[in-house]
Structure 1
Amino acid sequence: MLLPKQGFHKTYGLFTTNYGSVDNEFIPIHETEFVRVPDGIAHFLEHKLFEKEDEDVFQKFGRQGASANAFTSFTRTSYLFSGTGQVTENIETLLDFVQSPYFTQESVDKEKGIIGQEIQMYQDEPNWRLFFGMLNNLYPKHPLHIDIAGTEDSIAEITAEDLYLCYHTFYHPSNMNLFIVGNMDVDSILQTIRDNQARKPFEAAVPVKRRFPVESGDDLVKENSITMSVSRPKAIVGLKGLDELPEDGLAKLTYRTSVQLLLQLLFGDESDNYLTMYNDGLVDDSFSFEFNLDRGFHFADFSSDTDEPERFANQIMNILIRADKSTELTKEKFLLAKRRMLGKHLKSLDSLEFIAQQFSGFKFGTATLFDLSKVIDSITLDDVHRVRESFIRPEGLSKFFIYPKET
């Protein structure tokens, strides 16, 4: 997918596979039985693809006036470059290094120490531990609760053969998306991509078969906590989506946007709920909330540093459970929230990096980032009340705390 943006100097390219940290149980290509691979292998594979037998990919991009990076999420892995020139060369480099895996057991074993240090670093990061503590409450069986990088024990099990197995299963072009945005000649770039892919032999596309543990509402952990070296307690409330989502992509995008509007009305900076909690000293500027909807799961989380973590969590839960009677959900406030959301969205489209990252991460069928304006415009207050009724359920709520260690 190519999006020309005349007048911009930079060009961004993202090459994304529909494969992330939760995809650890699947049927490999050419096989018939499910296998279970070590946790963290998608992130490990992302690291190793940059290493080649005879070249340094980062140096090659650098010689071509570009910077490169990659990231792994729960459901995708993306490789990217950004630069102001040599667009054709950078696109070819992006395609070639991702589509030419080179793994040896020696290099894999060396990488284990590097990623092990990264895992230790995140284990010492309180906000990271807070978030995954909440996920462990909401999804105790689903691999969503496992750190994207895995654990030191799980990565110790990874072999070069494991990496090739995952690569050949999930890195087929039929499971991938290439998105280029910026200053470009579309016809020339399109021909470059076609010629590049035509030179490479690809097997026939086979749909990927994944398997995930079955969870019920009874599996959800209502409350948990840990202690860490923090100066103030931290609290987070999670709300697990228990309702079935629409299959249609545009309807799913409408659902997500409606929930985001609902949460903005209830907890946004302009809401009476937020101002009351702030004036009471219950929250400070560390307070945040987010809604995540992706392949196979959706949830919201609300967190803050606070001297009264239990009271904070109970207040958040009360606001959610009593949202049907909330004075925040008025037509006037709703229209204002829609205008703010639309304005923020349109402003963000001036950022090529935002467009590239968001577009590649969309999981809404044929609906894209550029359908969001009309989706926002189409949503009514009744839509917001419908998602409130289906999404906010007491049995989907959980809380997690980090308390300071006693000295």
Structure 2
Amino acid sequence: METLTYKQLNETVYQETLDNGLKVFLLAKPEMAKTFGIFTTNYGSIDQTFTPIGKDEKVTVPEGIAHFLEHKLFEKEDRDVFQDFTKQGASANAFTSFTKTAYLFSATSQIEKNVETLLDFVQDPYFSEESVEKEKGIIGQEIRMYDDQPDWRSFFGTIQSLYHKHPVKVDIAGTVDSIQDITKDDLYTCYETFYHPSNMVLFVAGNIDPEKMMEQIRTNQNSKEFKEIPTIERSYPDEPVAVAKAEDSITMPVTTAKAMIGVKENVSSLTGEELLRAELLSGMILDFYFSKSGAFYEQLYKEDLIDSSFQYETELDRQFGFTILGGDSRKPDELAKRVKEMLHQLREESISEEDFKRMKRKKIGQFMRALNSLEFIANQFTHYHTLGVDLFDVLPVIESLTTEDVDQYVENWIKEECISVFQVKPQPNA
């Protein structure tokens, strides 16, 4: 077991790669009453086309299958795993994103038992034709529920306007039609390809003894048989740099329109740390101009173009990246026009050294506060690990950023052909 010491943050992470390829990270926080564990596979909704383990030809599986698989792993032949965690005093959950699927628990007691349960249920799949058919109805209801939510529709509508072919444009849960094509064999094919320990990370943080915990995990994994460590071959379509649609809209029963402005990011050539620096710079620039204390936000508010629903976010990951800004507006066309003007204006704007120092201090403060959350540490550590970045290296990277980095980033960031506007408009009779 190796120790990674971060003196600046006074943190020590214990890590080990087991014989089966599983990467284990432990963070002892004896001052915490709670312990949080997360078991993550580097497999998400965008991984639709791949070469199954043991096969020579690529397959394309139905949209939404990664999310479907997440649901099905909790259900065993004789029980629901959620009940196991509840009996052991733990709260359990799971989520599927574009690039990963994660299973997690938090508890203040029976930690060893809960870690054992986490490992065992994820590594013991059970799918039957009957249970798969039953799940289609449950997930179909979930999809229809999200289809009725204007915020969700505006978010995915913007992504669909940005991308021509890339599967990031597909709702993580798939569609009501696409999940009907999922079979028991499809689930096993995806599981056997992407749930090998070598494609997974286990992170446990909290009131634990690292030596004892690592020994328990070793013993658990050594008691199971796994195939040889595979090479996973994923395939993604070639995606043009420009957006798919400069403008698009839908109508829904809303009283106020929503206008979202999307920026398609070109991340294909970025390495792990370059992705991190781009993510940090984007977040800091957006915060400086478009947060409630930002100059651009104030202008938009004074012009009566936005209200408190206005928000922004950037997501940069392997294979894709985007920034989305917007919210409710009584003048959605004018809001879209003004935000686009402001984004282009960033090239002419110059952030002073003093302002940038304040931006960095704010970012560092936000990061340090977030480190008080076990959930944040575990989730972000595993996320950055798949990108080849160490979460605890984020602080020195922030400190190294300069105004020259900002200027260079902005120069290559905003291009007209990479901007799309998506609106949710009130129905005529709404």
TM-score, normalization by structure 2: 0.92
Q: Does 1:2 align with 2:29?
A: no
Change (3 A) 1:147 1:217: same
Q: Mapping of 1:6-405 within 5 angstroms? A: 6-218=30-242, 220-242=244-266, 244-247=268-271, 249-326=272-349, 329-363=351-385, 365-405=387-427
C-alpha distance in 2 between matches for 1:289 and 1:330? 23
C-alpha distance in 2 between matches for 1:324 and 1:42? 40
Change (3 A) 1:243 1:60: closer
The superposition leaves residues 272-323 of structure 1 with CA deviations (integer Å, 9 ceiling, x where unpaired) of 1111111221111100011110111111010110001111111111111121
Q: CA deviation at 1:385?
A: 1.0
Q: Does the 8 Å CA contact 2:242/2:418 hold for their aligned counterparts? A: no
Instruction: Return 32-41 or 313-322, whichever deviates more.
Output: 313-322
Change (3 A) 1:388 1:8: same
C-alpha distance in 2 between matches for 1:152 and 1:184? 43
Q: Does the 8 Å CA contact 2:243/2:417 hold for their aligned counterparts? A: no
C-alpha distance in 2 between matches for 1:236 and 1:219? 14
Pairs aligned (count):
405
Q: CA deviation at 1:354?
A: 1.4
Give the unaligned 5+ runs of structure 2: 1-24
The residue matched to 2:70 in structure 1 has which SS?
helix
Q: Does the 8 Å CA contact 2:260/2:336 hold for their aligned counterparts? A: yes
Identity percentage over the alignment?
Answer: 48
The residue matched to 1:375 in structure 2 has which SS?
helix
C-alpha distance in 1 between matches for 2:277 and 2:143? 36
Q: CA deviation at 1:218?
A: 4.8
Q: Does the 8 Å CA contact 2:39/2:200 hold for their aligned counterparts? A: yes
Q: CA deviation at 1:252?
A: 2.6
C-alpha distance in 2 between matches for 1:404 and 1:395? 27
Q: Does the 8 Å CA contact 1:265/1:334 hold for their aligned counterparts? A: no
Change (3 A) 1:218 1:273: closer
The residue matched to 1:9 in structure 2 has which SS?
coil
C-alpha distance in 2 between matches for 1:308 and 1:92? 54
C-alpha distance in 2 between matches for 1:392 and 1:255? 13
Q: Does the 8 Å CA contact 1:228/1:403 hold for their aligned counterparts? A: yes
Q: Does the 8 Å CA contact 1:239/1:392 hold for their aligned counterparts? A: yes
When the two chains are superposed, the root-mean-square deviation of aligned CA atoms in Å is: 1.2
Q: Does the 8 Å CA contact 1:261/1:384 hold for their aligned counterparts? A: no
Give the unaligned 5+ runs of structure 1: none
Q: Does the 8 Å CA contact 1:238/1:302 hold for their aligned counterparts? A: yes
Change (3 A) 1:365 1:73: closer
Q: Does the 8 Å CA contact 1:243/1:391 hold for their aligned counterparts? A: no
C-alpha distance in 2 between matches for 1:342 and 1:397? 30
Q: CA deviation at 1:132?
A: 0.7
Change (3 A) 1:177 1:243: closer
Instruction: Return 213-222 or 164-173, whichever deviates more.
Output: 213-222
Q: Does the 8 Å CA contact 1:27/1:34 hold for their aligned counterparts? A: yes
Q: CA deviation at 1:106?
A: 0.3
The residue matched to 1:103 in structure 2 has which SS?
coil
TM-score, normalization by structure 1: 0.97
The residue matched to 2:255 in structure 1 has which SS?
coil
The residue matched to 1:152 in structure 2 has which SS?
coil
C-alpha distance in 2 between matches for 1:227 and 1:250? 41
